């Protein structure tokens, strides 16, 4: 399969590097990473280890591929979609956090698949990515149900040794992941604690409230996600990732823009479309945006 990875930073470089063992992969990245991969290939270290030699470029458009993976941060999705509109791709798959597939689907005529990733990745330096945890890619039709295209993409991932599940219930899975991220990411980022601190602190209640509100909005969107399931998902992920610093906490610590708009912000916006108020998500989003503005992050 010819695969374009749009936005090869941490996750895109790891997944693209693994896919390159059996597929024809091109990374769209920024220099000096793109130049380094073009010249000397890339090293995957940590929980996975390999040397891979995908093509790499800084050119955003004009590509042709069977599949485009979108791995930019959620706030760069619209720009990625506009660049992909000038590429000839058979399908698009997002592995991002937050609700980004709608942005892609609204701007592209190509079929858009939904995906989630629990692999951990960190770009250590140009040309070198660390796999900080072997997780799983889950992908499937954006609206749910069986999908031959998703099956083909899933097989291509598995052929490259990537732990992959093709799911027929992506709407529920996306909203459950959104509930987890809405609860854990914003609360840990604002209180500057590891995920495990949510086991016992007052912040635990805040995370549960954000997740329950997200479940309520999912149901308004006709996605079956009971409050209890969303709350238990938060508790399960807190237990499994107790020692982790959430991606949003890492962004705040590095004084980088967060993905709050595609997580808590998306919950607020979709709730508003239904005339529904989500005060916990609204407050969390407002605090994070106030921090971003205060830091001068755009």
Ligand X SMILES: CC(C)(CO)C(=O)C(=O)O
Distance between CA 136 and CA 63 in Å, rounded? 28
The smaller minimum CB distance to ligand X, of residues 177 and 216, is found at 177
Q: At what angle do helices 203-220 and 227-240 cross, to 10 degrees?
A: 130
- Which of the residues 155, 177, 240, 256 is marked catalytic? 177
With CB atoms as reference, the residue minimizing the distance to ligand NAI is 9
Contacts 24+ apart (CB under 8 A), 199-206: 199/238, 199/239, 199/242, 206/280, 206/284
Out of 176, 259, 261, 292, the only residue in the binding site for ligand NAI (CB under 6 A) is 259
Closest by CA position to 176, among listed 129, 235, 245 = 235
Out of 3, 4, 5, 7, the only residue in the binding site for ligand NAI (CB under 6 A) is 7
Phi, psi of 54 (to 5 degrees): -75, 160
| Contact set for ligand X, span 135-194 (CB under 6 A) | 180-181, 184-185
The smaller minimum CB distance to ligand X, of residues 36 and 75, is found at 75
Helices then strands, each counted (H, E), the chain: 11, 14
256 annotated active-site: no
Distance between CA 148 and CA 239 in Å, rounded? 35
The smaller minimum CB distance to ligand NAI, of residues 194 and 227, is found at 194
Closest by CA position to 225, among listed 270, 259, 260 = 270
Q: Minimal distance in Å, beta carbon 20 to ligand NAI?
A: 16
Active centre residues (catalytic): 177
Interaction site with ligand NAI (CB under 6 A): 7, 9-12, 28-30, 60, 71-74, 76, 79, 95-97, 117, 120-121, 123, 247, 259
Q: Where does this chain bind ligand X (CB under 6 A)?
A: 97, 180-181, 184-185, 195, 237, 241, 244, 246-247
């Amino acid at each position: 399969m010819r695969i374009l990875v749009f936005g090869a930073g941490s996750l895109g470089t790891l997944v693209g590097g693994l896919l390159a063992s059996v597929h024809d992969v091109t990374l769209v990245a920024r220099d000096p990473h793109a130049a380094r991969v073009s010249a000397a290939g890339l090293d995957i270290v940590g929980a996975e280890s390999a040397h891979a030699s995908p093509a790499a470029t800084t050119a955003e458009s004009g590509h042709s591929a069977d599949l485009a993976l979108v791995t930019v941060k959620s706030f760069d999705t619209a720009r990625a979609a506009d660049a992909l509109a000038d590429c000839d791709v058979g399908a698009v798959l997002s592995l991002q956090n937050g609700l980004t597939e709608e942005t892609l689907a609204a701007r592209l005529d190509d079929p858009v698949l939904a995906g989630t990733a629990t692999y951990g990745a960190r770009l250590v330096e140009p040309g070198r990515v660390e796999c900080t945890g072997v997780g799983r890619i889950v992908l499937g039709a954006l609206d749910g149900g069986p999908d031959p295209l998703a099956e083909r993409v899933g097989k291509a991932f598995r052929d490259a040794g990537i732990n992959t599940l093709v799911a027929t219930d992506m709407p529920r899975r996306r909203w459950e992941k959104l509930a987890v991220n809405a609860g854990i990411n914003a609360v840990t980022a604002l209180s500057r604690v590891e995920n495990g601190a949510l086991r016992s602190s007052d912040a635990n209640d805040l995370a549960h409230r954000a997740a329950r509100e997200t479940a309520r909005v999912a149901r308004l969107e006709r996605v079956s996600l009971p409050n209890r399931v969303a709350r238990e998902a938060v508790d399960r992920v807190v237990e499994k990732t107790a020692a982790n610093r959430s991606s949003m906490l890492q962004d705040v610590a590095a004084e980088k823009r967060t993905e709050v708009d595609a997580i808590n912000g998306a919950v607020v916006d979709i709730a508003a479309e239904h005339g529904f108020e989500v005060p916990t998500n609204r407050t969390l989003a407002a605090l994070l945006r106030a921090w971003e503005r205060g830091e001068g992050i755009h």
